[in-house]
């Protein structure tokens, strides 16, 4: 009986470890993408995941600016609001500008994500953030990481 409990515990630990690895790897891939447009879009996707983990669900029908200006503050974004607004501006430019974002823009996007993460951890706590972030989801929604269409007429995530 003790052996079975040990095997179950080991299986659970491996499962949690795998979820942590996937989360960390997804963030690393987004943060260090070769293309600055992908880095900025990845920063926005990361911010949406952090907000979701803090209980602020994404609103697919809203543009990033609308989401940052109205929806997120009304649903508990707290001190994450100002950096989220700045990130929304960078995200909109990355989606629709003809020129790709600069290195400085991509770096700033990730600095803003770090500020959002810090604000949300203070609001709901690190344990809650990780527990929610590691919750298995039916789909990974990779569309947030993808580059916009070449004609730049794609819809915002």
Residue 105 has pLDDT above 60, yes or no: yes
d(CA 140, CA 72): 21
Query: Of all helices (H) and strands (E), which one includes residue 108?
Result: helix 103-124
Segments making up each domain of the chain, as ranges: 2-144
Question: pLDDT band at residue 3, thresholds of 50, 70 and 90?
Answer: confident
* pLDDT tens by residue, 19-62: 667 777 888 899 999 999 999 999 999 999 889 888 898 888 99
d(CA 66, CA 101): 21
Residue 25: per-residue pLDDT: 83
Q: Can you give the three-state secondary structure of 10-55, one letter per residue?
A: HHHHHHHHHHHHHHHHHHHHHHCCCCHHHHHHHHHHHHHHHHHHCC
Q: What is the pTM of this model?
A: 0.73
Tokens of 46: 């990361």
Highest-pLDDT range among 2-6, 96-100, 136-140: 96-100
Average pLDDT, the chain: 82
């Amino acid at each position: 009986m003790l052996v079975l409990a040990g095997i179950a515990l080991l299986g659970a630990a491996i499962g949690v470890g795998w979820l942590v690895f996937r989360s960390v790897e997804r963030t690393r891939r987004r943060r260090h993408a070769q293309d600055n447009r992908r880095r900025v879009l990845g920063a926005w996707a990361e911010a949406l995941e952090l907000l979701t983990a803090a209980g602020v669900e994404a609103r697919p029908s809203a543009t990033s600016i609308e989401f940052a200006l109205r929806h997120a503050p009304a649903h508990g974004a707290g001190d994450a609001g100002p950096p989220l607004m700045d990130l929304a501006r960078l995200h909109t430019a990355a989606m629709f500008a003809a020129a790709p974002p600069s290195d400085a823009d991509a770096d700033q996007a990730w600095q803003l994500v770090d500020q959002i993460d810090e604000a949300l951890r203070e609001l709901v706590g690190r344990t809650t953030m990780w527990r929610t972030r590691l919750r298995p989801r039916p789909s990974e929604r990779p569309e947030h990481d993808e580059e916009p269409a070449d004609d730049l007429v794609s819809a915002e995530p």
